[in-house]
Structure 1
Amino acid sequence: MDWTTDDFLHRLYEDAEARKKRNTERVTLAERQIRLRNALKRALGEFPERDRPLDAIVLDRADYFDFTMERVAYTTMEGVHVPVMVLIPRSGTGPWPAVLACHGHGNGYCDAVGLDSEGAELEDPGIHNRFAVQLVKAGMLVVIPEIMGFGVRRMAEELKAVPNYSSCGTLSAQLLMYGRTLAGMRVFEAMRAIDYISGREDADAGRIGAFGFSGGSLVAALASGLDDRVKATVLCGWTNTFKGSIMAMHHCIDNYLPGILLSAEQPELTGLIAPRRLFVESGEQDPIFPVEHVRQALSQLEETYAGWGASERFGYDIHPGSHEILGDQSIPWLFKALAAGGKDKP
């Protein structure tokens, strides 16, 4: 007799897939998108009110060769303060196309610019590859909020731990007790960051993009899917299927959304961005988002964009690397996509 629970979970997945197929028969793309957005909102949990003023302040400003860096603080919800880096091009004049940069797991927003916690440049930029610096050098204003649970935004006791130790587990578990999720809080804060970008005089509110890596891609993807102000999105090191990634091996608990598989697989959620512009970057050797499932997700996204008559707005690059940002195709693509802005119609 087999006492394991593997078959039980397999049947749950197959039943959910069959149920989704039945529920989407003879449903238009537009109707399906509305349903999915509602399902995603339910899975993310309750959002705080968004009418609270951000009360943004500039803490300091420093000039580098290619850009100016501002350190900013704003308030996303009562008692919740966010440190933010803003990189501003030093060549040309604004308002510039602006990008919300969402870092992955690690030391927080410093990873996006390749700095240590004291602000010194790291010799090895790591898997983030200073992507925010690449973005500003390409001619975009870049806003990098420190994502909840990382860097200085960890739980007080966990701040005493070694670097790279996040508060994802603690926050995820406790938020569930209030009907919320850590992914939901992060997506909410990403939308508040878009509020902040929209209010900057040196940022073009009609040309806002999002660039995410790994867990930051989850935030960028879901925020872009819910917020039409994002005109173009780049997702690195994340696009896959739930079955092939977070259901197949150990991943951080912040990746899991209650009940979402009853409504959508990961490529369907990513498809909420359509018909707006989307570019996917992934490594052939990525061990936690396996390439065979990346290709499966890309095939589904190609079908979604074709269904919207927007195939030219979807692109991808599978590079020979691992779980890392390359950027040689995705960053020029994003600049070009934002140069088009929202002027072209689907």
Structure 2
Amino acid sequence: MTNKMSEEIQHHLDSLETKGHELVIESHILTDRQVPVLLCYPKGATKLPVVFLNHGTTGDATSMLPIGLPLAQAGFFTVLVDARFHGRRRLEHFNETFFNRAMYKRLYLQMLLDTVDDISAIIDDLQMDERADAERVGISGISQGGFVSFVAITREKRIKAAAPLVASPDLTDTWGHSLPFQELESDLQEEILRHSPLRNYEVIPPVALLVQNGNADPVVPVGGVRKLNEYLKELYKEMPERYRYIEYDGRGHETVYEGSERPNIMREEVIDWFRRFLHSADGAGIFDKNE
């Protein structure tokens, strides 16, 4: 663990109310895919539900500590992942390479698919880890990490609950760094359409899915989640408690609403969602789910 990473972790620990639970934070390179992660969990963890957390573009695993630590405190075994091309495996000349307009969509798709495959490999390894229950797996992420979450629930069926934040299931959307979809090479268009969660929405149920977006987001438009909402309302009509879409009026590409009565409302909703759908009836491990 680098000094910078240690300082970042300590900063977040210092700002966290511990509620008497001692947390363990470990830095590892996992699986034969060499995936850099931070593991956060309460001391004495036994068969706790697992939550994968995924950061935004240009970020790294440490940027998910503000939600990873409270989740660990709430009784989850949290896995904070460095996405492909990011963090401890950051591309050389990152901005010039990753944000190259002609290459961005291709690299972005590769990043999404490879990161989801990394997560699948970690789930495989966690089958043998007594601290974690690999039968109860959730996933969340912010912005790019939310895109990872959407893709993951269409490809990895062991994920039981998901809570993407300020993200979209529509991979055809044009973002500031990329060419318009219709200007991309035909093979790339086909690949994007094949893997876009919006085109694969029928495989999402029965995942317990919570989606949260601001409707004034200039970075990730809400069009994609609104379309998905129309599709999923029908698919979840026999189990409506397992799907929820929250749209925050006037909010942009942010997950903390400074100055509001509940600045961390998005994070609180995520934790409550995973408590509801990943904790067992008896409270799971050493924690009571209503604590």
Asked if TM exceeds 0.5, the reply is yes
Alignment match, 2:121: 192
Q: Which runs of 5+ in 2 are unaligned?
A: 1-5, 256-265, 282-291
Alignment match, 1:296: 227
CA distance 1:211–1:266, shift in 2 (3 Å): same
In structure 2, what is the Cα distance between the partners aligned to 1:169 and 1:292? 23
CA distance 1:229–1:292, shift in 2 (3 Å): closer
Offset at residue 340 of structure 1 (A): 4.8
Offset at residue 168 of structure 1 (A): 3.1
Alignment match, 1:55: none
1:6-25 aligned at under 5 Å gives the runs none
Alignment match, 2:138: 209
Alignment match, 1:279: 210
Offset at residue 158 of structure 1 (A): 2.3
Q: Which of 91, 98, 107 matches 1:168?
A: 98
In structure 2, what is the Cα distance between the partners aligned to 1:166 and 1:100? 29
Q: Which of 169, 176, 186 matches 1:250?
A: 176
Alignment match, 1:70: 26
Alignment match, 2:253: 323
SS in 2 for 1:286: coil
In structure 1, what is the Cα distance between the partners aligned to 2:96 and 2:160? 31
SS in 2 for 1:212: strand
In structure 1, what is the Cα distance between the partners aligned to 2:93 and 2:270? 35
SS in 2 for 1:142: strand
Q: Give yes or no for contact 1:187–1:223 (8 Å, CA) kept in 2.
A: yes
In structure 1, what is the Cα distance between the partners aligned to 2:280 and 2:96? 38
Offset at residue 271 of structure 1 (A): 4.3
Q: Which of 45, 55, 60 matches 1:108?
A: 60
Q: Which amino acid aligns with 1:198?
A: Q
Q: Which runs of 5+ in 1 are unaligned?
A: 1-59, 114-129, 160-164, 342-346
Alignment match, 1:36: none
In structure 2, what is the Cα distance between the partners aligned to 1:312 and 1:141? 24
**Identity, % of aligned positions:** 25
In structure 2, what is the Cα distance between the partners aligned to 1:143 and 1:149? 18
Q: Give yes or no for contact 2:171–2:193 (8 Å, CA) kept in 1.
A: no
In structure 1, what is the Cα distance between the partners aligned to 2:167 and 2:200? 13
Q: Which amino acid aligns with 1:104?
A: G
Alignment match, 1:339: 279
Q: Give yes or no for contact 1:240–1:296 (8 Å, CA) kept in 2.
A: no
Give the number of equivalent residue pairs: 246
Q: Which of 228, 231, 236 matches 1:305?
A: 236
In structure 1, what is the Cα distance between the partners aligned to 2:171 and 2:243? 21
Q: Give yes or no for contact 1:149–1:167 (8 Å, CA) kept in 2.
A: no
Offset at residue 84 of structure 1 (A): 1.1
CA distance 1:261–1:304, shift in 2 (3 Å): farther
CA distance 1:280–1:70, shift in 2 (3 Å): same
Q: Give yes or no for contact 1:102–1:219 (8 Å, CA) kept in 2.
A: yes
User: Is the counterpart of residue 158 in structure 1 residue 105 in structure 2?
Assistant: no
Q: Which amino acid aligns with 2:29?
A: A
Q: Which of 37, 41, 48 matches 1:84?
A: 37
Q: Give yes or no for contact 2:150–2:169 (8 Å, CA) kept in 1.
A: no
Offset at residue 311 of structure 1 (A): 2.5
TM-score (norm 2): 0.72
Q: Give yes or no for contact 1:154–1:167 (8 Å, CA) kept in 2.
A: no
CA distance 1:93–1:266, shift in 2 (3 Å): closer
In structure 2, what is the Cα distance between the partners aligned to 1:313 and 1:286? 25
Q: Which amino acid aligns with 1:297?
A: L
In structure 2, what is the Cα distance between the partners aligned to 1:83 and 1:252? 27
In structure 2, what is the Cα distance between the partners aligned to 1:70 and 1:148? 20
In structure 2, what is the Cα distance between the partners aligned to 1:277 and 1:175? 29
In structure 1, what is the Cα distance between the partners aligned to 2:122 and 2:36? 11
Alignment match, 2:148: 219
